[in-house]
């Protein structure tokens, strides 16, 4: 690990200003992903701004009935919140399908959104990786790519986004609230937070230098049956091969977002009109433009079958309360 200076921020705006002021500075919250990468010298910050003491760890009910989730709410606490369990079950289920109990106790809401890919070639510093070292090439293309993305990829990068939480938030139409180094706040739809790799896979999101996520807002509850179904190589503590977050209404209409298949949570609103007609009717649009490798071509069929299972579960659950996994 490379040496760094360390400070505790006094306010969100101060933190943003501090990171913008010092070249090579980074925020640290839970630290579970950043420290992992710092040990491998994939991340080499010169200065860490600890935002842990900023009080952004509350979940508040908004006047419109929605929820405002502080950026530093721990994954455990968000999954366990009674309002989330009752009204946003897909989010609880997604969080509980991710990581381990120890990691969820440390990992934060904003940190989860901004975590880096677990592509093995991003982690292996002896291999080329356009995300880690721009212009060096992509070892995953033609390498072992079983876990890699099949949608939204480019010739420069096929890394997938590892979050479960973000997939549920995409299905819930969450918005992300930020503060910039000049103190200005803004909100953006979660759909606009992550960028596709294109020719610049090292640029992973649309936040400006020093811009700090302060909260994630959920619109008022939409009802329906909530399902998060994650398919992985182990029964627990493994990243998704494919995951499906779904909210299905009594009439069969609903929303679907996918995890494990793209560089960002994947949702195609135009495909959702077909949901009442079943998974096979949805996938042509949902998976349009898929570019799998030989290693991960199975993901295309696995999405359709997982979605099919999810829709069957949702139909069975109609009229009963609660969330399925």
Partner 1 sequence: MDEEQDSLEVTRRELLILGAASAAAVTAPAEAMAKAEAGPVRLPVMSKVSLEVNGNPHTLELDTRTTLLDALREHLQLTGTKKGCDHGQCGACTVIVEGRRINSCLTLAVMHAGDRITTIEGLGTPARLHPMQAAFVKHDGYQCGYCTPGQICSAVAVIGEIKAGVPSHATGDLMAAPNITVAELRERMSGNICRCGAYSNIIDAIVEVAGSRA
Interface pick for partner 1 out of 20, 103, 188, 207 (rule CB under 8 A): 103
Interface pick for partner 1 out of 71, 96, 110, 311 (rule CB under 8 A): 96
* CA 152/CA 270 separation, integer angstroms: 16
User: Is 79 in a helix, a strand, or coil?
Assistant: helix
**Which helix H or strand E contains 14, and what residues bound it?**
helix 12-21
Residue 28 in the binding site for partner 1 (CB under 8 A): yes
Closest CB to partner 1 among residues 2, 220:
2
Count of residues interacting with partner 1 (CB under 8 A)? 47
Taking the complex as a whole, the smallest distance from the CB of residue 178 to partner 1 amounts, in Å, to: 23
Residue 101 in the binding site for partner 1 (CB under 8 A): yes
State the binding string over 30-59 for partner 1 (x if CB under 8 A, else -): xxx--xx--x-x--x-x-x-x-x-------
Rounded to the nearest 5 percent, the helix, strand and coil shares of the chain are 30, 20, 50
Taking the complex as a whole, the smallest distance from the CB of residue 84 to partner 1 amounts, in Å, to: 9
Instruction: Compute how many other C-beta atoms are within 10 angstroms of the C-beta atom of residue 35.
Output: 13
Give me the residue label for tokens 């990468």: 37
Taking the complex as a whole, the smallest distance from the CB of residue 323 to partner 1 amounts, in Å, to: 5
Sequence-ordered list of residues with C-beta below 8 angstroms from that of 296, at least 6 positions apart, any chain = 145, 146, 147, 148, 150
Taking phi over 0 as left and psi of -120 to 50 as alpha, with beta for the rest, 70 belongs to beta
State the binding string over 115-154 for partner 1 (x if CB under 8 A, else -): ----------xx------x---------------------
Task: List the interface residues with partner 1, window 209-268 (CB under 8 A).
Answer: 234-237
Distance of CA 249 to the CA centre of its chain: 24
* CA 139/CA 284 separation, integer angstroms: 29
C-alpha count within 13 angstroms, C-beta hemisphere, residue 131: 30
Residue 3 in the binding site for partner 1 (CB under 8 A): yes
Q: What does each C-alpha distance from 73 to 80, 87, 112, 320 come to in angstroms?
A: 11, 18, 10, 30
Residue 155 in the binding site for partner 1 (CB under 8 A): no
Choose the stretch contacting partner 1; rule: CB under 8 A; options: 76-84, 145-153, 185-193, 252-260.
Answer: 76-84
Residue 92 in the binding site for partner 1 (CB under 8 A): yes
Residue 102 in the binding site for partner 1 (CB under 8 A): yes
Taking the complex as a whole, the smallest distance from the CB of residue 127 to partner 1 amounts, in Å, to: 9
Closest CB to partner 1 among residues 19, 287:
19
Interface pick for partner 1 out of 20, 22, 68, 105 (rule CB under 8 A): 105
E-strand ranges in the chain read 5-8, 25-28, 47-50, 59-61, 67-70, 175-179, 185-189, 212-218, 225-231, 242-248, 254-259, 323-324
Residue 10 in the binding site for partner 1 (CB under 8 A): no
Q: 31 with 106: CB under 8 angstroms?
A: yes
Point out which residues bind partner 1 (CB under 8 A).
Answer: 1-6, 28, 30-32, 35-36, 39, 41, 44, 46, 48, 50, 52, 76, 79-80, 85-86, 89, 92-93, 96-97, 99-103, 105-106, 125-126, 133, 234-237, 321-323, 325
């Amino acid at each position: 690990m490379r040496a760094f200076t360390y400070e505790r921020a006094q306010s969100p705006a101060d933190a943003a200003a501090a990171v913008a002021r010092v070249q090579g500075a980074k925020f640290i919250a839970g630290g579970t992903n950043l420290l992992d990468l710092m040990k491998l010298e994939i991340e080499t910050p010169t200065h860490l701004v600890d935002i842990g003491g900023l009080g952004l760890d509350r979940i508040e009910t908004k006047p419109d009935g929605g929820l405002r989730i502080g950026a530093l709410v721990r994954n455990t606490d968000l999954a366990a919140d009674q309002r989330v369990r009752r009204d946003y079950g897909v989010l609880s289920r997604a969080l509980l399908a991710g990581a381990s109990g120890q990691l969820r106790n440390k990992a934060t809401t904003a940190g989860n959104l901004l975590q880096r890919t677990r592509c093995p070639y991003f982690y292996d510093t002896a291999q080329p990786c356009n995300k880690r070292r721009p212009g060096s090439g992509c070892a995953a293309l033609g390498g072992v790519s079983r876990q890699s993305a099949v949608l939204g990829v480019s010739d420069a990068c096929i890394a997938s986004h590892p979050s479960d939480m973000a997939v549920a938030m995409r299905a819930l139409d969450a918005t992300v609230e930020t503060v910039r180094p000049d103190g200005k706040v803004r909100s953006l739809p979660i759909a606009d937070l992550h960028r596709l790799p294109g020719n610049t896979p090292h640029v992973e999101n649309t936040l400006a230098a020093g811009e700090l996520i302060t909260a994630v807002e959920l619109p008022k509850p939409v009802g329906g049956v909530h399902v998060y179904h994650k398919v992985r190589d182990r029964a627990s503590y493994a990243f998704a091969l494919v995951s499906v977050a779904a909210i299905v209404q009594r009439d069969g209409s609903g929303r679907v977002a996918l995890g494990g298949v793209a560089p960002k949570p994947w949702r195609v609103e135009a495909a959702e009109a077909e949901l009442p007609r079943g998974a096979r009717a949805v996938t042509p649009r949902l998976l349009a433009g898929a570019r799998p490798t030989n290693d991960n071509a199975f993901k295309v069929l696995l999405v359709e079958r997982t979605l099919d299972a999810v829709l069957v579960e949702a139909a069975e659950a109609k009229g009963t309360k609660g969330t399925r996994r």
